[in-house]
Chain A
Amino acid sequence: MSPSPVSYRLAALPALVDPWLQEVNRLWSVTEVRARIVSIREEAEDFRTFVLAPNRHWPGHRAGQFVPVAAVVDGVRTERCYSISSAPTHARRTFEISVRRVREPRDGVLSTYLHTQARVGDVLRLGRPAGDFVVPEGFAGKLLLVSGGSGITPVLSIARDLAARRRLRDVVFVHAARSEAAVPQAIRQELEALPFAGVHFLVGPLSPGRLAEIVPDRHMYSRVYLCGPAPMMERFVGDVGGIPAGVLVTERFHGGPVPPRRGEGEVTPVKVDLGRGRVVAVATTPSLLEALEAAGERPRYGCRQGICNSCRCEKRSGIVEDLRNGKRSGPYAEEIRLCTSRAVSDLELNLGDVR
C-alpha cells in the first residue's frame, strides 16, 4: 500500500523542519528525542556516567529500562542500547547512562566514541526507553539485585528508585567487578550509605555457588534481578543456584548472543526470518538474492550486479558477507543489498513490500 498524500506529506515534515530548528538549537526537533551531555563522571576504569538533558520528546523511563543512543562516528550513524542508571525521579528531567568502554573494534564503536570523543555540550540522538527489566508496580516482596561489570546499570536504576521510595529494608544488592580498579567506588559509597538489607561489592567472577555463599537465604526472595556480561549470564542459565524458576528476571545487553558463523565452503542452509512468522531455509551461496529466489521468495531487484540499489533491504540481525570484497558485517541491524551479499549466519530480514 502506498501512503496517502496527506500522511506522505506529514511524514516528510520533520525532515523539512528539523534542519531549520537545529540551526537555532541542536536539541530541537519535531519528533526526535535528543539530549545534550551536561556532565561526564568517571565511575571506574573504562566506566563512565553521562548526565543527559533531553528535549521535550523524552517520555521519562521506568527503573531498569534501556534507551537506544545514536551518534555519528567517523561518518557512520552508530546505535547501541544503554541501560539508564539513574532513578526515574532524577531532578530537572536529566537522566544518566553509564557506559563501559568495550575494547573491541566492532562492538566497541559507540562506547569508544563516548569515552574518547564525546564532550560536555554534545548532542546525542536517542530512541524511546524500552525493556521489561523492571519491578512491577506495587511489588512489595523481598528483592535480590545481582549484577556483574557494566550490568550494574539497570540494577543501579532499580536500587536508586527503591531508595527514593524508601523501600530498601528487604533488598540485597550484590555486584561483581572484574578487578579492584573496575569497582565503581562512588556508586559503592552511595549504596553502602543506604539502609539496604545487604550491599556486597566483590572482585572476580560471580557464579551460582559464590552467590549462595554471600546470600544463603536466596530462595527466600520473591524476585531476583540479574544482569551481567555474557559469561556470567551463561553460568546462571539452567542453574540459578537454588533460585526457583519464575523468580529470576534477567537482562541481556550487547545485542544478545552472536549467531554462530559458518565456514567458507559450507553449504548448509541458514534460516532467514522474514518476519510475520515466515522463516525460510536458504543456501549461503551464491548471493542472498539468488538464494531467496531459489527458496521461492520474490524480493525486489534490478540489475542483480550491485549497480542500481533496488534490492536494498533491512537486515535486522545476523551476519552477511559482501561478495565484492569479502568483508563481513556486524551482527547488528543495518541495510544490505541482496545481490552483493551472502548469508554467513542465520538472518532476520525485512524485505518490505515483497512482490
Chain B
Amino acid sequence: MTKEALKRDSSRTLNAGEMAAFGAELDALRDAVVRDLGAKDLAHLRRIQTAKRRLEGAGRLLLHVGIGPLSFLGGVGMLAAAKILDNMEIGHNVMHGQYDWTKEPDLAGNRFEWDNVCAGEDWRHSHNFEHHTFTNIVGKDRDIGYALLRVTPEQPWNLSHFIQPISAVGLAFVFQWGVAIHDLRLDETLEGRQTWRELFARAKPFLRKAAGRLAKDYLFFPALALGNAPRVLLGNLLANVVRNLWTFAVIFCGHFPEGVQMYPDPSEPESRGAWYLHQLNGSANLEGGALFHVMTGHLSHQIEHHLFPDLPASRYPELAPKVRELCTRYGQVYHTGSLPRQLASVFGKIVKYALPPPSTAPGVEGVTV
C-alpha cells in the first residue's frame, strides 16, 4: 500500500482536546434523539412485532397445510423473515435496552427472550457488555472472528486457521449455535483455563434455551402437522438456516471489512471521547434501502449502533448523515459499502489470514490492513 493510499484510508489521530470535543458533539446528538423519543418510536417497534407475528403465522400455515414446492418456499421465506425480524430489529435491539424508556414490561431489555438458541442472559453478557465495551480490542472482544476465525494479523495464528475459509462457511450455516455457545468459553475449557464443571454451570441457560427451541421447531410443530411432519421439519430447518446465513453476513460485515481498525488492550477505562472514536473506527456500515435496514435490524448502521447502542435503532438512519459530517470535520474515516462488497472484503481477509504470518512482516502502527 502506498503512503498516499494509507493517508486516505486512515483516520487522523486526535489530541485530547479534539477527542473531548468530538465526544461532546456525539453526546449532543444522542441527547437530541433522547429528548425526541415518543409515540412514533414505540409504534415502529409494535408494527415490526405485528409483521413478525403475521409472517410467522402465515409461514407456518403454508408449511403445515400447503401442497407443492411453491407454498413450501413461500412458507420458508416468511418464517425466515419472521425469525430475522425477531432476532434483529426486535430481539437484538430490545435486549440492548433501546426500548427500556417505554417502561413496557414486555420490552424490558434485561428480561427479553428471542427466537434463537442463544439464551438472552448469555447474549447480554457476551454482546452487550463484552463486545460493545471492548469492540475490536484484540484479546478482550471475543467477537473478533468468534474465537474461531483469524480476521486480523494481530490474532495469533494456529493450525486450525488453515481451513478457516471452510469453517467460516460452516459457521455461517449454524451461526445461531456459534452465537449461543460463544459465551460458554469452550476454547478456555479445551485450553485448561476453565474446568468442565464451570463449563457445565455456564451452559445451563443455553441448554435450557436450546432444548426449548429444538422442541418447538423440530418436535412440536412437526407433530402438529401430522402427515405433513417431514415437510414442516424441513421447512423449519431451512428457515433457521436462512436466518443464520443472513445474520452471519450482516454481523461479519459490521466489524471485519478491510480498513476497520483493531485495537490493543487500553489497560485502563477509556474516556468517553476515546471510546466513541474507538467505536467509530472499529465499525463499518452497509448501504441499502429502508427495507434492507429493517431486515438487518439497522445493523447496516453498525457505526451509529456502536456509538449509541441504547438508542432505538430506527433512529440510526437520521443520525448517519450527522455522524458522517462530524467525521469529515474531525478527519475520521466513515467505513461504508454495499453488502456484496463488504462481504467479499471480509472473505478476502478470511482467506488471507488463513496462512501463517511471514515472520519478517513489518507492522504498520495503528493501522490494520
- Residues of A that sit less than 8 Å from B by CB: 2, 5, 8-9, 12, 15, 19-20, 23, 72, 74-78, 302-310, 312, 324-325, 334-335
User: Among the listed A5, A302, A334, which residue makes an inter-chain contact with B211, where contact means beta carbons less than 8 Å apart?
Assistant: A5
Known: A2-B204, A305-B269, A309-B100. A75 touches B133 (CB 8 A): no
Is B108 a contact of A77 with CB atoms below 8 Å?
no
For chain B, the bracket of interface size reads 35 or more
Is B37 a contact of A75 with CB atoms below 8 Å?
yes
Known: A5-B208, A302-B128. A77 touches B275 (CB 8 A): no
Measured between C-beta atoms, what is the minimum distance from B32 to chain A in Å? 11
Is A75 a contact of B39 with CB atoms below 8 Å?
yes
Known: A309-B110, A309-B310. A77 touches B129 (CB 8 A): no
Known: A8-B208, A12-B113, A302-B125. A308 touches B37 (CB 8 A): no
- Residues of B that sit less than 8 Å from A by CB: 27, 31, 34, 37-43, 49-50, 53, 57, 96-97, 100-106, 108-110, 113, 124-125, 128-129, 132-133, 204-205, 208, 211-212, 269, 272, 275, 309-310
Other contacts beyond A75-B40, A307-B132, A310-B124: 16, CB < 8 A: A2-B205, A5-B208, A8-B208, A15-B106, A20-B53, A72-B42, A72-B104, A75-B39, A75-B43, A77-B105, A307-B309, A308-B128, A312-B97, A312-B108, A312-B109, A335-B108
Is A72 a contact of B102 with CB atoms below 8 Å?
yes
Chain B residues within an 8 Å CB radius of A308:
124, 128-129, 132-133
Chain A residues within an 8 Å CB radius of B211:
5
Please list the 6 inter-chain residue pairs (A to B) with the smallest Cβ-Cβ separation, ordered nearest first: A302-B129, A309-B97, A308-B129, A75-B42, A303-B133, A77-B103
Known: A305-B275, A309-B109, A310-B124. A335 touches B103 (CB 8 A): yes
Is B205 a contact of A303 with CB atoms below 8 Å?
no
Is A75 a contact of B102 with CB atoms below 8 Å?
yes
Known: A5-B208, A12-B113, A75-B39. A303 touches B129 (CB 8 A): yes
Interchain residue pairs with CB less than 8 A apart (27): A5-B208, A5-B212, A8-B208, A9-B212, A20-B53, A72-B39, A72-B102, A74-B39, A75-B38, A75-B39, A75-B42, A76-B101, A77-B103, A77-B104, A302-B133, A303-B133, A305-B269, A305-B272, A307-B129, A307-B309, A308-B129, A309-B100, A309-B128, A309-B310, A310-B110, A310-B124, A310-B125
Residue of B nearest to A306 (CB): B310
What's the Cα separation between A129 and B218 when bound, in Å?
A: 43
What's the Cα separation between A312 and B106 when bound, in Å?
A: 15
User: Among the listed B42, B57, B133, which residue makes an inter-chain contact with A307, where contact means beta carbons less than 8 Å apart?
Assistant: B133
Residue of A nearest to B127 (CB): A308
What's the Cα separation between A76 and B100 when bound, in Å?
A: 9
Chain B residues within an 8 Å CB radius of A75:
37-43, 101-102
What's the Cα separation between A325 and B105 when bound, in Å?
A: 25
